[in-house]
Structure 1
Amino acid sequence: MNLSNDSISPAYEYYENYPDYEPCSSSDNSVNAVVGPYIHSIICILGLVGNSLVILTYALYKRTKSMTDVYLLNVAIADLLFVLALPFIVYNELYSWPMGQVACTLLRGSYSVNLYSGMLMLACISTDRYIAIVQARRSFRLRSLSHSSILCALIWIFALLVSVPTFHFYHWYKPSHNDIVWFNGTEEEETTDPQYVCEFKFGDSNTASIVKVAVPSTQLAIGFFLPLLIMIFCYTAVIITLQKAKNFQRHKAVRVVMVVVLVFIICHLPYNLALLYETVRLFKQIECGEQDSLQTAMSVLQTVAYLHCCLNPVLYAFISVKFRSHFRRIFQDLCCVGKKIITPRRLSIDGTNEDGTSFSM
């Protein structure tokens, strides 16, 4: 899902190291002007509401009784933290960074951690579905809450480790080229107030070259292709197994699986292909017009990828019949006149046997 602009940050160091380099003049982009403040705001609101409801449901209504429940809860936490950091990242990309070095490091780093962990949790959900359906005879031995909790902890630690470059190399600083504007090929001094940014900053060009290739490459390998391959393998086996069962609910589950995979591919594949192209031509000189077109395409495709954090609660939680019943009870209890405190004891009396399945079967 790393969907951040880590890999496409402006190459400020390039300008500082090569004085003959003339940067492209910034142009008003109507697409970015709409995508930044408006579309991303909608994504943040929907992601905040949807994932908060999932967490609230697990906290008060539906206890984690299976590995899928644990994974769904962690996906919701990762997506919630993701959308909470997103407005600050978008503001920095559109304007400047007013909050200092500590906030810069923490927000950019946590943004990356939550992104990696969320994508890997989705891969774990597909693996759990594979074990529960394809390896049903072994599922009781392989699927346990203790195993899922340990695996989730390892995923968060791993996501933190692969995000170390983001924590280390992101800095709050004023780019030196902001003091200069180019007008008809000549330099002029900038007289406006200094604009600070939260971007990659390197001590030498060798480090810059390594990190600016390593970060997007890691994002592509671990944040997209690895979960995609796992999901394709597991859900293909699940579909084959379900097709053999002559049962309406089973065939309905096949359609759910196909929707989950298709939504994942539609949201993330275009952006990651564009990111791959961006990485390949990272150190090649291109025309300003092509650069503007690429940045516009990256912004639009990145926004499509962000939509997945809003769709996760629908695809992985609310699509379950039992989860939808808990969801309805939230609004019923919130609408009760005179109810001031929602107690877990009052809300946990259900009497149904929940197997934690994320699909309606």
Structure 2
Amino acid sequence: MNYSYNYSYDDDYGDGEESYDYDASPCELNDNRETELMVQAYVHSSICILGFLGNILVIVTFAFYKKAKSMTDVYLLNVALADLLFVVALPFIIYNEQNSWSMGAWVCKLLRGAYSINLYSCMLLLACISSDRYIAIVQARRSFRFRARVLFYGRLICTTVWVLAVALSIPTFLYNDRYEARSGLGNGTTAVCYLKFDQQETAKLVKVLIPSTQMAVGFFLPLLVMVFCYSSIIVTLLQTQNLRRHKAVRVVIAVVAVFIACHLPYNVALLGRTAALFKEKRCGTGKATVLALMVTETLAYLHCCLNPVLYAFVGVNFRNHFQKILVDLWCLGKKYLYGKRSSSVTSEVFISARKSVDGSNNGSSFTM
């Protein structure tokens, strides 16, 4: 969920009233509004484009070139779907924030809820990937029977993750709403999409519950699982003399390092903002909080672009599929432009590609 709104993120009811110690002068939280608009227009738009292309490539690979033969493959496909959900919703969020939420209340709830579902599902699925790699490498002998029914368990776990993500996002759907809030120092108003409440007790509870759940389930829990699993994997891999396994250690370190670098700053900023919710705040502190959330949130968004690189295309098999996709797209483009062959030949390209790739590569898409 995006908490870096400039209008009323500290008011109890969502009516624009803020509890700042103004130091005998009005507090203008919109000083960085122009910077925020530029970040949304350029940085967030770039994240949308790169994230869309990367995750679409993963989905196309599984749809036409590679069957999901391991639990990690099943998880990777669902991570790509979750990230795709986010990068599709983000442009609409950007448009509405820059145009006074012109699409109405239901779109407000839908977009905020979609982002919340993406957050929980993606983070939990990344934890599932690390757990599956731990079972496959550290507990290889004990896991044979469990991994024999790969698709059944993989789909069951993914379904559970999606249901849990929807359940955790219910407060986001319920309490986000479109309403008029005071804009800037003047008497004008602007439409915003944010948490709105009818009772002060509900406001205090939900404004602590939502970010606390997001930090606990959407960051700290996956982080603990990843650190434990990948630490055990590194110890196991270092005990072998296989050069390929040692290269996989670097991949593991990169996965954990990027996860921490992208999500730790935002969660620290969110923790500080939540801890200060019911304290009297000075204007300078409020401005710093808004700026910190804006910068760190953008960094967290970047992770959806890096997931395909870290979890999919870092593997040799997936890179081969990616190259095959580029070759097929080039061939299809030439056939479309020059019209030398019929559409029936076009369909044969995908069939032959799927057969040739599936027949030559049977390993897991993940490097380890």
Q: TM-score, normalised by structure 2?
A: 0.88
The residue aligned with 2:107 is 103
Instruction: Tell me, in whole angstroms, the C-alpha distance in 1 between the residues paired with 2:48 and 2:322.
Output: 20
Shift of 1:111: 1.2
The residue aligned with 1:118 is 122
Q: Tell me whether 1:253 sits opposite 2:248 in the alignment.
A: yes
Do the aligned partners of 2:14 and 2:197 also contact (CA within 8 Å) in 1?
no
Do the aligned partners of 1:4 and 1:112 also contact (CA within 8 Å) in 2?
no
Equivalent of 2:354 in 329, 348, 354: 348
Shift of 1:52: 0.6
- After TM superposition, the structure 1 = structure 2 runs for residues 160-179 of structure 1, keeping only pairs within 5 Å, are 160-175=166-181, 177-178=182-183
Change (3 A) 1:318 1:353: closer
Unaligned residue ranges in structure 2 (runs of 5+): 337-342
Do the aligned partners of 1:7 and 1:215 also contact (CA within 8 Å) in 2?
no
The residue aligned with 2:63 is 59
Change (3 A) 1:19 1:278: closer
Do the aligned partners of 2:312 and 2:365 also contact (CA within 8 Å) in 1?
no
Percent sequence identity is 53
- After TM superposition, the structure 1 = structure 2 runs for residues 34-45 of structure 1, keeping only pairs within 5 Å, are 34-45=38-49
Instruction: Tell me, in whole angstroms, the C-alpha distance in 2 between the residues paired with 1:39 and 1:200.
Output: 25
Q: Tell me whether 1:299 sits opposite 2:299 in the alignment.
A: no
Do the aligned partners of 1:116 and 1:159 also contact (CA within 8 Å) in 2?
yes
3-state secondary structure, aligned to 2:178: strand
1:134-167 superposed Cα distances (whole Å, 9 cap, x missing partner): 0111232222110010000000000000000000
Unaligned residue ranges in structure 1 (runs of 5+): 183-187
1:170-197 superposed Cα distances (whole Å, 9 cap, x missing partner): 112223x35xx64xxxxx643xxx5322
Instruction: Tell me, in whole angstroms, the C-alpha distance in 2 between the residues paired with 1:18 and 1:31.
Output: 24
Instruction: Tell me, in whole angstroms, the C-alpha distance in 2 between the residues paired with 1:18 and 1:319.
Output: 49
- After TM superposition, the structure 1 = structure 2 runs for residues 1-361 of structure 1, keeping only pairs within 5 Å, are 3-5=1-3, 10-13=9-12, 16=15, 24-29=27-32, 30-143=34-147, 144-175=150-181, 177-178=182-183, 182=185, 189-190=187-188, 195-336=190-331, 337-338=334-335, 340=343, 341-343=346-348, 344-350=350-356, 351-359=359-367, 361=368
Shift of 1:63: 1.0
Instruction: Tell me, in whole angstroms, the C-alpha distance in 2 between the residues paired with 1:197 and 1:7.
Output: 9
Do the aligned partners of 1:170 and 1:198 also contact (CA within 8 Å) in 2?
yes
Change (3 A) 1:255 1:202: same
Change (3 A) 1:20 1:319: closer
Amino acid at match of 1:354: N
Change (3 A) 1:311 1:332: same
Do the aligned partners of 1:82 and 1:111 also contact (CA within 8 Å) in 2?
yes
Instruction: Tell me, in whole angstroms, the C-alpha distance in 1 between the residues paired with 2:144 and 2:354.
Output: 25
Instruction: Tell me, in whole angstroms, the C-alpha distance in 1 between the residues paired with 2:4 and 2:160.
Output: 24
> For the aligned residues, what is the CA RMSD?
2.2
3-state secondary structure, aligned to 1:349: helix
Shift of 1:124: 0.4
3-state secondary structure, aligned to 1:197: strand
Instruction: Tell me, in whole angstroms, the C-alpha distance in 2 between the residues paired with 1:19 and 1:335.
Output: 56
Shift of 1:70: 0.3
Amino acid at match of 1:358: F
After superposing on structure 2, the runs of 4+ consecutive aligned residues of structure 1 that deviate more than 6 Å are 17-23
**How many residues matched?**
347
Shift of 1:31: 3.5
Shift of 1:13: 4.5
Shift of 1:330: 0.6
Do the aligned partners of 2:180 and 2:191 also contact (CA within 8 Å) in 1?
yes
Shift of 1:357: 4.2
Do the aligned partners of 1:57 and 1:326 also contact (CA within 8 Å) in 2?
yes
Amino acid at match of 1:5: Y
